[in-house]
With several copies, the nearest count.
Chain A
């Protein structure tokens, strides 16, 4: 077992799956040369141009062709170079991939995976920083995964590729090389839709996903060190379908819920988590269901002083924990 970065883990998962199953192939802009983040490094050498295919610059066609290829027996993994550039493919994803199975009464299906780097914090400005999970988690028929750790990335990407449904696989780009983690060399999968309790605690449930998991764990440690508040941190990992039971069970235990996400607060995915808790765990709550997220500003301004002002970080999360704990 070796320590790997997340981008290495993604690459390993792709390579493994391509070896395991010749129906798997990757397509996208620049993937042949390894991709701008190197997530497809070496795949063209091993599997050839056909299975690691550079496409013209055209996101709707990339996803549309992936859908078609999946209809004809393959398991395509489409790479969208940045999540911010996926919008031209919105129609293909929402109208086509998500609805094909339902509209045909189960006759046709669309086992594609769409991988894309998302998230802010790298001075990417308003077009290399966006969070897009809220759009897709709202669409029935899609599964949506948000990863920000090497171990999860490998296990969940394998599940995504093997899943018979269309899966949006969102990789937090700031986490690509932020840290290393033990990643087993052997084949393993992590089930889609199952959250991970990354930290046990009794005073409060903190629900999060993506890079914010790391920041939240940091914040929880700091606050516990300061004043003993014990925070349970749940990393959803999959935002659709999400692990309601895990979250509700924890909130029933702690009585308080803090939801942390990087995306704009209004209509972000965390709103769904908050709304569900408010409805289904109401009798257990002894504090307001609280959200910490980015304010409603295009994510994210380029200048690092502006960017830092906008994005959640461990300090802001720690403040939120303290405030809710004091309620």
Chain B
């Protein structure tokens, strides 16, 4: 039930929804920052976060119906996970490898999002392996007569992997309700776009599978949302897949083990920071009288409070019981 909006250019989103959008984006940014901080403090051995990808992640996930549609995420998708309903507490419990983590109880690396209730499917680290799962999920939806949509997220590097081709082809043949979201941040660790592909817009590949591909400004949350909404409608109506390429930029090193100064200049990063999705959307909200500066500050304060509370909770939560290490290799019989 989307309320009709009177904000021009808001893609039909109400003021509340627009503020919610900003809230999720800010939350995503700040959870990422918190995780990197905890890592630097020696509390979590590893951090992989998505600062810079907020518009792409939150904008696409905002077009989904949580708990009905399926998300096949990858390690950078903090914004997707939070938008669909995972909490900072969930993510920080995973970050610290706590027993209570719904992602994995400390088994998987952090940022390998998972929630059965929210239909965020547990992912792995080898990139692109989740893409055929989205196709299979959509195949099952079709066989079962359900109007769910499956969304597969992956990077510009992952787009080079063979199984992405196989998956898009299969989805095309059966006109499945899958959306392929490529978060093109122009690097795969240190490898720049020019060494990853000879073309500029990866979305043209969709033509080779018989469904539409669009390239959007991945730092413009409303543009991303609009493309995703259209793709969700198409999929839900049985009109098949869409490939959405969102051009964005990772503002932080690849992971806590990476030093991005080795492969890109500080000027380049600063240039992109100026075009960053948060600052852009904040300006837009203010200029279109959706939220005043002080209202936005309140939104941010609320997010930070949630993260602080989550951090405290997660730090106090117990680590896994070593005696459980052998469980769940196979499904346990009742």
Instruction: Provide the bound-state CA to CA distance between A13 and B199, in Å.
Output: 36
Question: Which of chain B's residues have a CB closer than 8 A to the CB of A303?
Answer: 97, 106-107, 319-320
Extra 18 A-B pairs, beta carbons < 8 Å, given A63-B132, A88-B126, A105-B104: A56-B188, A56-B191, A64-B136, A65-B135, A66-B136, A68-B150, A71-B136, A72-B144, A84-B125, A84-B126, A88-B162, A104-B328, A124-B109, A127-B126, A128-B125, A296-B329, A301-B320, A305-B106
A72 is contacted by which of B97, B106, B137, B257 (Cβ under 8 Å)?
B137
- Determine whether A140 belongs to the interface, using a CB cutoff of 8 Å to chain B: yes
Closest to B70 in A: A72
Shortest Cβ gap from A38 to chain B (Å): 10
1/0 per residue A52-85: CB within 8 Å of B? Answer: 0011111111011111111111101000000011
- The residue in chain A whose Cβ has the minimal distance to the Cβ of B72 is A68
Contact flag A64-B163 (CB < 8 Å), given A57-B158, A87-B126, A303-B320: yes
Give 1 or 0 for each of A297-323: 1 = CB within 8 Å of chain B CB.
Answer: 110011111101110000000000000
Q: Chain A residues near B104: list those with CB within 8 A.
A: 103-105, 302
Question: Which residue of the partner chain, among B126, B134, B173, contacts A85 with CB atoms under 8 Å?
Answer: B126
Contact status B105-A105, CB under 8 Å = yes
CA distance A164 to B331 in the complex (A): 7
Q: Is the CB of A57 within 8 A of B157?
A: yes
In this complex, the member of A57, A66, A92 whose beta carbon has the largest number of chain B beta carbons within 10 angstroms is A57
- Identity of the chain A residue whose Cβ is nearest the Cβ of B172 in the assembled complex: A56
Q: CB of B161 within 8 A of chain A?
A: yes
A100 in contact with B126 (CB, 8 Å): no
Residues in chain B near residue A304, CB distance under 8 A: 45, 97
User: Residues of B contacting A301 with CB < 8 Å?
Assistant: 106-107, 320, 325
A51 near B188 with CB under 8 A, answer: no
Contacts A69-B140, A71-B137, A302-B109 given; indicate if A56 touches B196 (C-beta within 8 A).
yes
Enumerate 16 A-B pairs (CB-CB under 8 Å) in ascending A order.
Answer: A56-B157, A56-B160, A57-B196, A60-B166, A63-B132, A65-B136, A68-B137, A72-B140, A74-B143, A88-B161, A91-B163, A92-B163, A124-B109, A301-B320, A303-B97, A304-B45
Flag if B191 contacts A103 (CB, 8 Å).
Answer: no
Minimum Cβ distance to chain A for residue B80 (Å)? 17
Q: Which of A34, A58, A101, A125 contacts B331 (CB 8 A)?
A: A101
- A contacts with B, residue count (CB < 8 A): 73
Of the candidate stretches B49-57, B114-122, B270-278, the one touching chain A is: B114-122
Instruction: Decide yes or no whether B129 CB sits under 8 A from chain A.
Output: yes
CA distance A76 to B128 in the complex (A): 21
A95 in contact (CB, < 8 A): yes
- Please give, as numbers and ranges, the residues of chain B lying within 8 Å of A221 by CB-CB distance: none
Asked if A12 is at the interface (CB within 8 A of a chain B CB), the reply is: no
Residues on A with beta carbons closer than 8 Å to the beta carbon of B321? 305
Nearest opposing residue in chain A for B99, CB measure: A303
Contact A30 B189 (CB under 8 A): yes
Contact yes or no, A107 B102, CB < 8 A: yes
| Other-chain residue from A54, A60, A70, A95 in contact with B124 (beta carbon distance below 8 A) | A95
What's the minimum C-beta distance from B200 to chain A, rounded to whole angstroms?
15
Report chain B residues within 8 Å CB of A309. Answer: 322-323, 325
CA–CA, A76 and B162, complex, Å: 22
Residues from 77 to 125 in A contacting B, C-beta threshold 8 Å: 84-85, 87-88, 91-92, 95-96, 99-109, 123-125
Contact between B191 and A108, CB atoms less than 8 A apart: no
User: For A287, what are the chain B residues with a Cβ–Cβ distance below 8 Å?
Assistant: none
Question: Is the Cβ of B112 less than 8 Å from the Cβ of A30?
Answer: no
CB distance from B194 to the nearest CB of A (A): 10
The 4 A-B residue pairs with the shortest CB-CB distance, nearest first, are A68-B136, A64-B132, A303-B106, A127-B125
Q: Could you tell me if A60 and B163 are in contact, using CB atoms closer than 8 angstroms?
A: yes
Q: Is B14 an interface residue (CB 8 A)?
A: no
CB distance from B183 to the nearest CB of A (A): 14
Contacting pair A55 B114 (CB below 8 A): no
- B-side interface residues toward A, CB under 8 Å? 45-46, 70, 97, 101-110, 112, 114, 116, 121-122, 124-127, 129, 131-144, 148, 150, 157-158, 160-163, 166-167, 169-170, 173, 188-191, 195-197, 257-258, 262-263, 319-332
Which residues of chain B are within 8 angstroms of A201 by Cβ–Cβ distance? none
Name the residue of chain B whose CB is nearest to the CB of A107: B116
List A residues 221-253 near B (Cβ within 8 Å): none
A50–B36 alpha-carbon span in the complex (Å): 35
B114 touches A108 (CB 8 A): yes
Q: Which residue of A lies closest to B173 (CB)?
A: A56
**Which of chain B's residues have a CB closer than 8 A to the CB of A302?**
97, 104, 106-110
> Cα distance A91–B101 when bound, in Å?
26
A178 contacts the other chain (CB 8 A) = no
- Distance A18 CA – B122 CA, assembled complex (angstroms): 28
- Considering the complex, give the chain B residue whose CB is closest to the CB of A37: B257
User: Given the complex, which residues of B lie within 8 Å of A73, measured CB to CB?
Assistant: 140, 144
Q: Could you say which residues of chain B place their CB within 8 Å of the CB of A306?
A: 106-107, 320, 322, 324-325
A237 to chain B, nearest CB (A): 18
> Nearest residue in A to B97 (C-beta to C-beta)?
A303
Nearest-neighbor residue (CB-CB) of B100 within chain A: A105
- The smallest C-beta distance from A24 to any residue of chain B, in angstroms, reads 11
Report the minimal beta-carbon distance from B247 to chain A, rounded to whole angstroms. 18
CA distance A86 to B203 in the complex (A): 27
| Cα–Cα distance between A25 and B143 once the two chains are bound (Å) | 10
- The answer on a CB contact under 8 Å between A106 and B129 is no
Contact B191–A106 (Cβ < 8 Å): no
User: Are A127 and B109 in contact, with the CB atoms below 8 A?
Assistant: yes
Contacts of A85 in B (CB 8 A): 125-126
For the complex formed, measure the closest distance between the CB of A160 and the CB atoms of chain B, giving whole angstroms: 13
Q: What separation, in Å, do the CA atoms of A87 and B263 have in the docked complex?
A: 28
Least CB distance, A62 to chain B, in whole angstroms: 8
| B107 partner residues in chain A, CB cutoff 8 A | 102-105, 125-126, 301-303, 306
A84 to B322, CA, bound (A): 24
Cβ-based interface call for A270 (8 A): no
Whether A275 sits at the interface, judged by CB under 8 Å, is no
- In the docked arrangement, what's the CA distance between A87 and B162, Å? 12
Taking a contact as CB atoms under 8 Å apart, the answer to whether A58 and B125 are in contact is no
